Amino acid sequence: MSFTTKDVVLKEDRPKTLLLQKHSDYLASYGLNKDDYEYCMTEYLRMSGIYWSLTAMELMGQSSRMPKEDIIEFITQCQDSESGGISASIGHDPHILYTLSAVQVLAMYDRLDAVDIEGIVRYIVSLQQEDGSFYGDKWGEIDTRFSFCAVMCLSLLQRLDAIDINKTVEFVLSCMNFDGGFGSKPGSESHAGLIYCCVGTLSICKRMDALHADELAWWLCERQLPSGGLNGRPEKLPDLCYSWWVMSSLSMLNRIHWVDKKSLEEFILACQDNETGGFSDRPGDITDPFHTLFGLAGLSLLGNTSIKPVNPTYCMPQETIDRLKLKPQILQI
Amino acid sequence: MHGRVKVRTSEEEKARKEKERNEKLKIFKHAMQKIQIKRKECTLDKELLELTGNVLSSNPDIYTLWNIRRDILQLFKKSNDNIEEMSQVYNAELHLTEYCLKINPKSYCAWHQREWVLLTRDDPDWQKELELCNTYLKLDERNFHTWDYRRFVVSQCKPSLKDEFDYTTEKLMDNFSNYSAWHYRSKMLVELYPDRKGGRPIEDSHHKHELKMVQNAAFTDPDDTSAWFYQRWLLGAVKTTIDLVNYTVTPTKNTFAFSKHVDKNYVSAKTKLLINNCVVNGEWVSCTGNCYDVLWIFQHSTPITKKINIKVEYEIDNGQKQIIQGVECKEMFYIGKNQIKFERNYSEAVIEELKDQLESCRQLLNLEPDSKWTMLTTTIFLHCIDAKAYHTEAIQNLQKLKVIDKLRAGYYDDLIAKWCIEKQLCSDYENADLALKFSFPSPVSSLPYLQYYSYCDSVDLSNQQLTSNIFPSLIVLQHCKKLSLENNNLTTMKNFPDLDLVELNLLGNEKLDRNEIELFTKKYNFNIIY
Ligand SMILES: [Zn+2]
């Protein structure tokens, strides 16, 4: 059996400069047509969609192009008065994923007063289990993503004291693997996205010391492929969103210099669509707000100065994190 | 959002697609509306089950619809005692999830629904589920959802661990390039074959066996990375301990440095400072203010004078007590250094195996001198077998790797620094010098093990490639008076730690802003050279 590395080849005619204006136009018009097929079919994750678009706009200094008051009104309508949680959209059920997205959006707008904060705290507290893990909602799915949502959300609300932090950390550490990485639950294979969630949780809980930093960071830098792009697991194709999951983790580990920044930047720029605007997962694919945020945020981590600094733990503008006086931990080397 | 290629289509085609989508959208919206109405009316019936099922079969990620279905199924169960009928309802639900997983094998919702059904019904057929996993893993051996589901099923029906271990062997024999299988194997290996006697993670003969198997895999396809990660883990699977590496006692400050991060409970339970054979009581404070730290400050009111007897009693991992005698290196400046070593503790048998494999690696490297993984493995073997004896060769290899594997040059740089510092530490811990100076063939950009040098009063970090990023780490230099950062890549003085310095040398950092340094100078009363 002969082995070939899974990767892509960047074409000569790819975008090589950052098309900021196009991206801002793309996001500003996204969802203007409420009957757009794509838009309607993604209603079940609308709240996260708003977070992706707004954060991307904030990083470009263009957030005034988003309908602020409508968004805040929408969020208040999505809060469930009984559980306190927030849903993806009106008519959908509350879930920790969308509760976090809503809190992130309100934090950026400095309008956390618009929702019932005690309700959100109550909701998140209700989802923590005896072993420190978190349910995503009352139906009992467990995932380290939800642990991250919980601590990120509560820290943005200055209420991290409401849950058992030691147990939260203990559960996340029980998901550590032979390669120093993390999966979605104990026993699950390492995956760059879940590594970001687990490292982020430890960063907020100030327990970065518990990581096997050298092993983990080596595994992360081995995600870089000859094209410059990063994959999320060994022997997988590169994908733009992994430039965020991997690079933010490496930033928290203070080892961002373990990847080649120049070729990664070229890969990210190649994922832009110079006709429609926006970024896609790989060069030549259809763009979406999710990859547009992670493309911009990745470039920001790489030091691109036409984008505002992004905080690697929260994936929000550093200025918001500073305003809230949050100090997520970065590992010292 | 993933893997959708943008295709150019004719106007005609576009219009046709648009029309098709509009039709679909109409049906979708109508169904969603109907679902919402029925839910509001609390009409949790078969029709609603059908409606949600229809939408989910092409959109399995609409989580709220699964929630509705669970509500309905729970209601059915409450009002129906006919086990057979309920069994059919649950079977249909499993069927739906299977249908959805065919469309999207990575649908979190569909997988979770399947788990929920099996945990809710009274007659789960776990064997059947295990077979489903086998089938799915044949179709995609890397789908982590399927592997997770398999672990869930295994946790319920509890086949023997050995069976699952053998399953990974089988999968790997099919294709060594299966990281998921290596991962699963690592979990079971330490459970099945721990080294109970020696306290190592893996029992000797199995450690050897795995090393052989992984070498076989790696040599089959040196460019496939899966096996190499497993191998690297096997090489690191040794017993590790937490050590007290040094302590420094002066009239103003007492510090204790550990090889790993430890918390206050650990430090206060394991460490006793004795002055003239009397235990000193006091308070432990971490150097950075974090709960876990590598350097702890001990605050007490016992006076430290000349020519006193200072020693520390430290309880090591196996419960034994270690006495570390302090030496008065200069007047009223007592240092206790422990024996340090960085070698890994392999058994004789494993060392023999490593030596064998090193030979094969070297032969392979002769044939393909530019093979990254062969070069890296050779280098790791050299370091594991005898870091001191092979130091020069290992460092030379890492230098070559910087060229062969350019993307990760930064990683190799830091590994070179780490190994060089390990080597220097071993000799620095054998002399009584209070000064630190690095003079390696290549400059360092990171400072691992810096707490091992916390006793130094003079620290020369000049002519390295340090950036301002390292400032927070300098906090462990609690006894440093003279610090040189001359000729580095500092860019800002932000985050410079609070140290009791007498002199700080910042010369030759071209990117440092003079105004910023002047402001910095006003804040501190030590001599700043710039
Ligand atoms: Zn992606």
Please indicate whether, in this complex, the C-beta atoms of A2 and B230 are within 8 angstroms of each other. no
- Find out whether A5 and B223 touch, Cβ atoms under 8 Å: yes
Whether B25 sits inside 8 A of A40 (CB atoms) is yes
Per-residue pLDDT of chain A (333 residues; tens, 9 = 90+): 456 678 999 999 999 999 999 999 999 999 888 888 989 999 999 999 999 999 999 999 999 999 999 999 999 999 999 999 999 999 999 999 999 999 999 999 999 999 999 999 999 999 999 999 999 999 999 999 999 999 999 999 999 999 999 999 999 999 999 999 999 999 999 999 999 999 999 999 999 999 999 999 999 999 999 999 999 999 999 999 999 999 999 999 999 999 999 999 999 999 999 999 999 999 999 999 999 999 999 999 999 999 999 999 999 999 999 999 999 999 987
Of B2, B5, B233, the CB nearest to A179: B233
Phi, psi of B458 (to 5 degrees): -135, 125
Quote the ligand 1 centre to A292 CA distance (angstroms): 10
How far apart CA B411 and CA B485 sit, in angstroms, is 22
Q: Which candidate in B5, B6, B27 is best for mutational testing of the A interface (most A CBs within 10 A)?
A: B6
DSSP B129-170: HHHHHHHHHHH-TT-HHHHHHHHHHHHHH---HHHHHHHHHH
* Beta-carbon separation of A255 and B414 below 8 A: yes
Contact call for residues A86 and A99 (beta carbons, < 8 A): yes
Measured between CB atoms, does B293 come within 8 Å of chain A? yes
Low-confidence ranges of chain B (pLDDT < 70): none
CA of B20 to the centre of ligand 1 (A): 27
Q: Is B57 on the interface with A (CB under 8 A)?
A: no
Q: How many angstroms separate the CA of residue B202 from the nearest CA in chain A?
A: 13
Q: Which of residues 211-240 of B touch A (CB under 8 A)?
A: 220-221, 223-226, 229-230, 232-233, 236
Residues in chain B: 530
**Nearest Cβ partner for B29 among A40, A207, A233:** A40
- Residues A220 and A234: beta-carbon distance below 8 Å: no
- Distance from the alpha carbon of residue A230 to the mean position of ligand 1, in angstroms: 10
> What are the structural domain ranges in chain B?
18-193, 244-337, 348-418, 433-529
Minimal CA–CA distance to A244: which of A55, A103, A83? Answer: A55
CB contact (8 A) between residue B226 and residue A234: yes
- Per the CB < 8 Å rule, is B1 touching A236? no
Q: Shortest CB distance from B5 goes to which of A88, A178, A285?
A: A285
Which pLDDT score, from 0 to 100, does residue B196 have? 80
B348-418 topology per CATH: 1.25.40
Helix (H) or strand (E) holding B58: helix B46-58
Residues A63 and A310: their CA atoms lie apart, in Å, by 15
All residues of chain A having their beta carbon less than 8 Å from the beta carbon of residue B177 are 3, 235
pTM for the model stands at 0.96
How far is the C-alpha of A300 from the C-alpha of A243, rounded, in Å? 11
Q: Are B190 and B202 in contact (CB under 8 A)?
A: yes
Contacts B409 to A, Cβ<8 Å: 260
User: What is the maximal distance between C-alpha atoms in chain A?
Assistant: 61
Residue entry with tokens 């086998």: B134
Judged by a CB distance cut-off of 8 A, whether residue B388 touches chain A is no
Q: What is residue A1's predicted lDDT score, i.e. its pLDDT?
A: 41
Query: For residues B306 and B181, what is the distance between their CA atoms, to the nearest angstrom?
Result: 62
Same topology, domains B244-337 and B348-418? Answer is no
Nearest to A235 among B108, B179, B184 (CB): B179
Measured between alpha carbons, how far is B211 from B230 in angstroms, rounded to an integer? 9
Cα B104 to ligand 1 centre (Å) = 15
**In whole angstroms, how far apart are CA A3 and each of A226, B172, B223, B267, B374?**
15, 15, 7, 51, 16
CB neighbour list of residue A70: distance below 8 Å, 6 or more residues apart: none
Looking at the structure, give the CATH architecture of the domain made up of residues B18-193: Alpha Horseshoe (1.25)
Identity at B281, one-letter amino acid code: N
For residue B239, what pLDDT is reported?
81
CA B44 to ligand 1 centroid distance, Å: 37
Measured between CA atoms, how close is B229 to chain A, in angstroms?
Answer: 7
| Short-list B235, B164, B162, B168, CA closest to B201 | B235
Say how far apart CA A5 and CA B220 lie, in whole Å.
15
Count of all residues that appear for chain A in the document: 333
Q: What's the distance, CA B108 to chain centroid?
A: 25
**SS3 call for B263:** strand
Burial class (CB in 10 A: 0-12, 13-18, 19+), B370: exposed
Distance B2 CA to ligand 1 centre (A): 6
CA of A148 to the centre of ligand 1 (A): 19
Contacts of A87 in chain B (CB under 8 A): 64
Measured between CB atoms, does A315 come within 8 Å of chain B? no
A179 contacts chain B (CB < 8 A): yes
A240 touches chain B (CB under 8 A): no
Contact (CB<8Å) B229/A286:
no
* A222–B225 CB contact, under 8 Å: yes
CB A147 within 8 A of CB A197: yes
Would you say A189 and B147 are in contact if contact means Cβ atoms under 8 Å apart? Answer: yes
Helix (H) or strand (E) segment spanning residue A316: strand A316-317
Asked if A85 and A79 count as a contact pair (C-beta separation under 8 A), the reply is yes
Phi (first) and psi of residue B526, to 5 degrees: -100, 165
DSSP A228: S
How far is the C-alpha of B373 from the C-alpha of B384, rounded, in Å? 16
B407 touches chain A (CB under 8 A): yes
Any B CB within 8 A of A1 CB = yes
Show residues of chain A in contact with B36, CB under 8 Å: 91
Phi-psi region for residue B463, left (φ > 0), alpha (ψ -120 to 50) or beta? Answer: left
Measured between alpha carbons, how far is A321 from A203 in angstroms, rounded to an integer?
14
| Beta carbons of A93 and B63 less than 8 Å apart | yes
Is B25's CB within 8 Å of A215's CB?
Answer: no
The reply to whether B472 touches chain A by the CB within 8 Å rule is yes
Q: Does A34 touch chain B (CB under 8 A)?
A: no
Fold of B244-337: Immunoglobulin-like (2.60.40)
**Burial annotation B19-31 (CB, 10 A radius, 16+ → b, else e):** eebeeebeebeee
How confident is the model at residue B432, as a pLDDT? 84
Residue of B nearest to A236 (CA): B142
